[in-house]
Structure 1
Amino acid sequence: MRRGFCFARNRNQGEQKLSTQITEATLKNFQKVSYAKIEPSGNLIVLAGKNGAGKTSTNDGLEAALTGHNGRNIKRPIKDGHGKATIDIKLSDGSTLIRGYTPSGTTLKGLDAEGNKFGQKDLDARISSLGIDGRKFISMGEKDQLAALLSIVDLPFKPAELDAERKRLEAQRLSVGQQGKALGEAVVDSSLPTEETSAGEIISAIRLATDQAAKIKDAEDGLNYAESKVEEITAEIAQLTRQLEGWSVAVNDRQAELESQPLPADTSALEAQLASVEESNASIRANNQAREQVAAKDSLRNQYADLTEQIKTLDQRKTDGLAQAEMPIEGLTFDDEGVLYQGVPFSRASGREQLIVSCAMIMATNPEIRVIVIRDGNVLDMEGMQILNDMAEATNFQVFIELVKEDKGDDEYFFSEGELI
């Protein structure tokens, strides 16, 4: 069963550019190629042959002619025993370009259909920003792969801003969670009041009762003293009549004062309450602290839940945005770490999948000159070759693909010892 490789038009493909292909490429004495002339007739151009026969040299020549000479990849461009090398390319828009090599260096001669000269900068503007190497995207680092994908795909959000907001919310939620753990758990006794009992009020009540008792004691002492005087005067009534009358009055006064005094309060209950008030207040204080702790914990739980919902909203926004985005190929997406394909990191995809996705990325950049070279075509099976051909046809691309083969078979371009046979 074929895996679904589905294309989507992105912002670059939406504005179709002029589609230009190679109509003829001639290589002379370039690397291992003595002479090769290729006139592509389809979208998938197979360059077949044994290892070292000239296939890779041909693709190197096409890439050097279009993207410029790369001294790191092409150490010895001129075939041994020869004084110069050329790659002569004709394009479907009437342009021609010749990349020449001599021992002193390399030159590029470009002429458009009207005979106007153009150079490498003009070519760079007409080819994909990813070049023409079908493995370019594969060879990039994860961050560069992600940057390349984001430069192509039109998203309804800015990934960097969304990721920054998510990290901010996660950090805030982590802080709230840590505060909640630091508070610990508290048990509230709902039977205790929230207000503490005032010891001063109890002490004042005791003092009033004590003072009142002292007054009664004084009154009682006065009465006793008056009664003793009455007895004394009675015994001496004859001599002390006047005194008796006076003290009788005093007795009446003291009696009236005594009767006017209210009965003293019983201080035993107040004294017991005073003895236990600090213990009771300590319980109330501890219970109030527990109430505050529980309230703070509940507030933090609510904050944590709210932040979690905000993070879910951001994640859903990203998920919805990715669902709406038109990727270069079905199954391609990304996360904070990099590009994903079929839900796994791109680096863990199969060789066939990586190569097809990498080519789809070049196609998605919608360049004017639509050429791709593939040096490891044997990573593709027959199904993969058909998928690549369908992709090339759908986007008007030419794909020059190398295949290691022992015999020519039906291949149009079969290399042997640096020449086509």
Structure 2
Amino acid sequence: QGKSSLIEAIKALFQGKKYHPDKPIRDGEDHAEIIGETENFIIKRTFTKAGGDSVTVTNAEGMKATSTQGLLDKFYGEFSFEPMAFYEDCKNVKKKREQLNTLMKLVGLDFTDINAEIAEVKDQRSIVKTSKETYDFEAKQIPELPDVGDELIQMSELTEKLTLATQLNVKHTETVSQIEAGQQEIENIKASLEKGKEHKATLRREFKAALQNAEEAQYAGEKTFAEAQIKQEDLAETLEPLIDVAAINQAIEKADSRNEQVRKKKQRTELLKKSAAKSREFAELLKETKTLEAKKAKRLAAVKMPIEGLSVNEETILFNDPNEPTGAIPLAQVNDSMQLQIAVAISIALNPKLEVVLMKGNDLDKKNLEAVCKMAEEKGYQFWIEKQSDDKKNETGFIIEDGSVVPADKKETLLHSAEKAGKEAATDQDVLFKDEG
């Protein structure tokens, strides 16, 4: 017991509350202290029952720093990155987005602003595309009308012509009625004259005076007859021929049909113009998207990655092995040993001053453990690895028993005693590896 507590204590020493446990003080104690010594500083962090957390940093001359946490953050980086967790995530496809976000955050790579611009441009492109498709659809609903002119027929002229023709036809009908009435009147007068002649002959024999009256009546009748004939001739001369209204109505119907075709032709032309304009607008937005993507690529190129060949795209982390440059591939497809090297390289890059990497190493097999030790030696770093040991002699580390380090001269006694008693606890002892070859 105690290995995890020791690791967490190291983290809490350098980075404070975000790593210390909810209950850092043992029952019965009024405070807890963590003291660590580096090449340049002695660091002491104190926790109180009231929830207080204070830290002092003293240099070799005994001088205390003023902005202690800022100094620690500046010199000793960030312990939140767990290389083994990152390494294990390489085997989980569902974790690739989380891996990508972790790496981008660690190297200070943020595409939030550019992604927002790209999203906005894509939204605009979507709107433009929808408008274009609408215009194209509406234009397709209208057939091409090449034989139709571009000018509308003036309906007012035809309407005026129809009104005039209707008025003339009414006048014609009235005149015909007058002629027919006049003709009837003539027939009546003619019949009356015939009767008058007969009556005249009778009256001539009987009444001489009546004859005079009849002559006068004859005269008057002839005069009236002449006038009626003149009037009839005058009416006949003024009679206008009937106008074919059906032909005009047919012309109006044809004009309506043609005008509708002209309007549809103009509508189709306008829709196609709008569609072409949207195509140009879409092309400009696509160009803008490519510009923003280039901006992202430039920003990515300017970021210093923890290991050569490492890069990112929209979906995952990529790696192009500089020793075997075959093109960048997703990190999940990189071989197992290289995945581990990449995870460790990221952790090293985060702690350039302290030169210490903390790892949970229970899942490290012998081959990978040797690879990690080799990297520690090459980089000049200490790798503090929490691992359950199957090595009862435990030559490579030290034992933590009940939260305390077992002295070296008591190792064999402890292990022998545990073995003799048939206990299995000794095979589970905690080991913290350091860079000792």
TM-score bracket, shorter-length normalisation: 0.5 to 0.7
Is 2:337 the partner of 1:378?
no
Distance 1:323 1:129, change over 3 A: same
Whether 2:113 is the aligned partner of 1:158: answer yes
RMSD: 6.0
Change (3 A) 1:144 1:375: closer
Question: SS of the residue aligned with 1:204?
Answer: helix
Is 1:113 aligned to 2:60, yes or no?
yes
Deviations along 1:113-151, one digit per CA (max 9) or x if unpaired, are 332124455313322245464357678995796387257
Q: How far apart, CA to CA, are the structure 1 residues paired with 2:365 and 2:154?
A: 83
User: Per the alignment, do residues 267 and 204 of structure 1 end up closer, same or farther by CA in structure 2, a change over 3 Å counting?
Assistant: same
Q: Are 1:341 and 2:318 counterparts?
A: yes
Shift of 1:242: 5.5
Aligned equivalent of 1:244, options 222, 234, 254:
222
| Match for residue 75 of structure 2 among 126, 136, 145 | 126
Aligned partner of 1:96: which letter? I
Hey, what's the Cα distance between the residues in 2 that align with 1:397 and 1:116? Answer: 27
Q: Which residue of 2 aligns with 1:51?
A: none
Aligned twin of 1:89: 37
Higher RCO structure (Cα 8 Å, ≥6 apart)? 1
Distance 1:181 1:256, change over 3 A: closer
Q: 1:135 to 1:227 in 2, by over 3 A?
A: same
Q: Judging by fraction of residues, say which structure has more helix.
A: 2
- How far 1:155 moved relative to its partner? 6.9
1:204 aligned partner, one-letter code:
T
Report the counterpart of residue 173 of structure 2 in structure 1. 214
How much has 1:162 moved relative to structure 2? 1.8
Structure 1 residue runs without a partner (length 5+): 1-30, 33-53, 78-83
Question: 1:132·1:372 contact (CA, 8 Å) conserved in 2?
Answer: no
CA contact (8 A) 1:65 1:97 kept: yes
SS of 1:248 mapped into structure 2: helix
Please state if 1:309 is matched with 2:283.
yes
Check the 8 A contact 2:129/2:282 in 1, yes or no: no
Query: In the aligned structure 1, how far is the partner of 2:378 from the partner of 2:23?
Result: 27
Residue 111 of structure 1 aligns to a residue whose secondary structure is strand
For 1:262, the aligned partner's letter is: E
Conserved 8 A contact 2:133-2:275: no
Shift of the 173–383 alpha-carbon distance from structure 1 to 2, 3 Å rule, reads farther
The CA distance in 1 between the partners of 2:64 and 2:53, in whole Å, is 17
Distance 1:299 1:352 in 2: 60
Residue in structure 2 matched with residue 204 of structure 1 by the alignment: 163
2:14 maps to which residue?
66
Distance 1:204 1:320 in 2: 72
Rounded Cα–Cα distance in structure 2 between residues aligned with 1:383 and 1:323: 36
1:262 paired to 2:247: no
> TM-score, with normalisation over the residues of structure 2?
0.54
2:114 counterpart letter in structure 1: P
Give the C-alpha shift of residue 382 in structure 1.
Answer: 7.0
Q: Which runs of structure 2 are paired with 1:133-152 in the superposition (5 Å)?
A: 133-134=82-83, 146=101, 149=104, 152=107
Cα drift, residue 217 of structure 1: 1.0
Contact map agreement 2:125 2:285 (CA 8 A) in 1: yes
- Partner residue in 2 for 1:323: 297
What code does the residue aligned with 1:187 have?
I
The 1:223/1:117 distance shift into structure 2, 3 A limit, reads: same
- Kindly state the Cα deviation for residue 85 of structure 1 after the two structures are TM-superposed: 9.9
1:187 alignment partner in structure 2? 142
Q: Structure 1 residues 61, 150: CA separation in 2 closer, same or farther (over 3 Å shift)?
A: closer
Displacement, 1:281? 4.5
Are residues 365 and 201 of structure 1, via their aligned partners in 2, closer, same or farther at CA, if it must alter by over 3 Å? farther
Per-residue CA deviations over 1:147-193 (Å, capped at 9, x if unaligned) read 87257446798235325424642663576479669969523362567
Give the whole-Å Cα distance in 2 for the aligned partners of 1:263 and 1:126.
Answer: 114
Question: Secondary structure of 2:75's match?
Answer: coil
- Aligned amino acid, residue 122 of structure 1: L
Aligned with 1:378: secondary structure? Answer: coil
Q: Which structure has the highest strand share of the two?
A: 1
Deviation at 1:213, TM superposition (A): 2.6
Aligned residue for 2:183, secondary structure, equals helix
Partner Cα separation in structure 1 for residue 243 and residue 264 of structure 2: 37
